[in-house]
Amino acid sequence: VPIIDVSGSHGEPNPEAMALFRQCLRAVVESVSPAEPAAPHGVEILRTALAAQLDDVPDRIVVTCGIRAAVPVLAPLLPQLAVEVPSFEDIPALAGSLGCVVERVPWPTMTLDDSRAIWLTHPSRNPDGACLPPETAEGLSHRRRPAVVNEVYRWHSSAHLVPVTGNVVAVGSLAKVWGPAARLGWIRGDTVAELSKAALRISSPPPLVQHAWAAFIDRNGLDLLRRDAEAAAASCRRFSDLVGCDLLAAPRDGPSALLPLPGQLSADEALRRLARLGVKATAGRHFGVRYESLRLTFIGVSSSDAEIVAQACRALFT
């Protein structure tokens, strides 16, 4: 049986985007000196290209190697940190290893407590696709302590975005639209000018690579990636409609869905049963979920494959 992989292993970006990036790399190798250093905040034309895409201004953006690379840069601002649960578990692990005192806190509790910094993912949180209610998103700007918002799924969702003002800092990455090899991301907000230059130096890609991404974005490369992001979200919606939204953790949007399992069924047994039907998924526990559950993600998965996955998942409930 051919395997449908909804476990989160990112395939290659679409061929058109790959060809464009290769062209951009070749062009910058000829036009930019590999010995040219960049400012710690990033190559200016990339900051400008990103600003245009993110509806922001270059001075409020610094270039990083991605979401995880932002953690050591922001850690000094986050001595006491509430990290959302469930979530992408590398974040609390990294923050803890850098000396932040980390506690895992579910959303409504974390956003109501302003006694320490918070880290959350919006829109379309991994693993359950949850989005903040609009009034909570707006309210983050009034916090006294930093609120770090992971916007890695901004192109997979039509949900409102968090206004990045006051103590809100947004962190982003191309990891979910290009794949983990992109190693390109950003931090944006009012306070980026004050970030440690030394930390930025260890968290940013080489200038030549930054030039290549700037050329890619200027030549509308992100439009090609955005199309795939929208297709992933559409496949996830198809899955959700067929499996039944009442079975899923709600409310949700974007490429990922979390499926709580019926009483006696363990995640490991459910994964075995899905594997026999040609579906590869992941246990929710890898994202801090404390009940037996599966996380499915539809990046690179067609709508017709999403229908097969839904059928296989429904069979777990019979």
Integer Cα distance of 60 and 3 in angstroms: 43
Phi, psi values for residue 108, rounded to 5°: -60, -35
Helix (H) or strand (E) holding 229, with range, is helix 221-243
**Residue 152 or 195 with smaller CB distance to ligand PLP:** 152
Phi, psi values for residue 173, rounded to 5°: -165, 155
Residue 49 Cβ vs ligand PLP, minimum distance, rounded to whole Å: 18
How many residues bind ligand PLP, per CB under 6 A?
12
| Contact call for residue 124 and ligand PLP (CB under 6 A) | no
Specify the amino acid at residue 276: R
Task: Out of 37, 76, 99, 180, name the contact with ligand PLP by CB under 6 A.
Answer: 180
**Residue 173 or 293 with smaller CB distance to ligand PLP:** 173
| Contact call for residue 121 and ligand PLP (CB under 6 A) | yes
Between the alpha carbon of residue 306 and those of residues 126, 152, 186, 211, 244, the distances in Å are: 18, 22, 31, 37, 13
Residue 102 Cβ vs ligand PLP, minimum distance, rounded to whole Å: 16
**Residue 126 or 235 with smaller CB distance to ligand PLP:** 126
SS3 112: helix
Residue 68 Cβ vs ligand PLP, minimum distance, rounded to whole Å: 4
Interaction residues for ligand PLP, span 46-85 (CB under 6 A): 66-68
Between the alpha carbon of residue 277 and those of residues 40, 255, 268, 271, 313, the distances in Å are: 50, 21, 14, 10, 10
Q: Which stretch binds ligand PLP (CB under 6 A): 14-22, 173-181, 228-236, 247-255?
A: 173-181
> Which residue ranges make up the site for ligand PLP (CB under 6 A)?
66-68, 88, 121, 126, 150, 152, 173, 175, 180, 185
